[in-house]
Amino acid sequence: MSPALEVLAPGLLSTLQDLGRPGFQHLGIPVGGALDPTSLQAANILVGNPPKTAVVEIAYLGPTIAVDAQEVRLAVVGAETPIEILSDVSAPRGKRIERCRSIVLRRGEVMRIGALSKAAVLYLAAEGGFELPPVLGSYATCLRGRFGGWQGRALATGDRLPLRLSRASARVELCLQDFAVDAQVKFRAILGPQADYFSDASIRKFFDSEYTVCGSDRMGMLLRGPRIEHQHGFDLISDATATGCIQVPGSGQPIVLLADRQTTGGYPKIATVISADLPALGRLAVGAKISFESVTLEFAHQARCKYLKEIAEIPGKVRPLLRSNSELGADLNSQDLVGVIKT
């Protein structure tokens, strides 16, 4: 059979994503793509892929996958989570590995990714990528439109995700050093495009208040905090949206638009999170407490250039992997060598 990753358990919401499909918003086709493009690119770099290759985006709870290929090199970057490698499906327990490293798994071996903590998303990259048909130049899954990625839907038990390569290239394993995706609490935003729907006092209140992420999906994030009043109602003639736009509906509780946002919307947007802060925004988990800081357009442009520079520096943070003591210990345990020594 052709090489594949077999889904034994899908996790909460695992989807194929890349950097999305810009260029078709005038037709109502959303851009989509990874919620956290920084981690996506880092995961690809670890397995030697071009940084924009499609990977599996995992939200909140990880999947369990079995290797149905001679071998495959994988890497996981993003939220904290326990990752276990099992020698086969029936193995009671496996070997724990760290995130932010590459690893080669052989036929029958299983990777079990647990519950995510401190962030909402995690990315699983496979060397060579997945053998799937692109839709309008992208492999991103558009869940609401039911197209792209893996059959236009999230992974389900029994799916076989086809791999491009049947074995891993011969090279040392890599890890990322000094690569932190810390939880950000302050998000920079430029005013508008509909700041004129709000009084100065409302705008001040918005930037002075703390908000809690009380719900979130790939389209948007619901915030709960002090109610933001509109000064002349909230009826807006629908206009186009951007990722990071902060809409305020009639309830006065803001909604921040994320990667799968609809291309147009009818609520006034008080402010827009700057593009440099979008990856950190995308990885926010429900329960996170955040606030917003007003910045100028010029500042946003500078921040974007700085962000692009940081992305370009990721390959320089890659080092050959040195195995940790705890991992060597786990290996010994799994082979019962410790027991042998005792007798």
Partner 1 sequence: VVEFGNKVDQQLSTMVLSLARELIEAAIPGVLEAVPTFRSLMVHYDPAVIAFTDLIEFIDAAICGIPVVANEYPVWKLPVCYDSSVAPDLTEIASSAGLPPSQIIERHCAPRYHVYMLGFLPGQAYMGDLPEELAFPRRQSPRSKIAAGSVAIAMNITCIFPQEGPCGWHIIGRSPVRLWEKGTANTLLTPGDKVMFTPVSLPEYEILLAKVSAGEHLILQDGVAT
User: Interface with partner 1 by CB under 8 A: which residues?
Assistant: 22-29, 135-136, 144-148, 192-193, 237-242, 262-264, 297-298, 300-301, 304-305, 308
24 versus 207: smaller Cβ distance to partner 1 = 24
Smallest CA-to-CA distance from 282 within 305, 256, 300, 263 is with 256
29 versus 181: smaller Cβ distance to partner 1 = 29
65 versus 300: smaller Cβ distance to partner 1 = 300
In a 13 Å sphere around the CA of 145, the CA atoms on its Cβ side amount to 18
The DSSP element (H or E) to which 55 belongs, if any, is strand 55-59
Nearest distance, CB of residue 264 and partner 1, angstroms: 3
Nearest distance, CB of residue 238 and partner 1, angstroms: 6
183 versus 242: smaller Cβ distance to partner 1 = 242
Return d(Cα 42, Cα 26) in angstroms, integer.
Answer: 31
64 versus 243: smaller Cβ distance to partner 1 = 243
Whether 250 and 228 have beta carbons less than 8 Å apart is answered as no
Pairing relationship of beta strands 289-294 and 186-191 according to DSSP bridges: parallel
Token readout for 200 is 């100065």
Nearest distance, CB of residue 221 and partner 1, angstroms: 19
The DSSP element (H or E) to which 65 belongs, if any, is strand 64-68
List of residues 6+ apart from 240 with CB closer than 8 A: 25, 263, 264
Nearest distance, CB of residue 259 and partner 1, angstroms: 14
Nearest distance, CB of residue 275 and partner 1, angstroms: 9
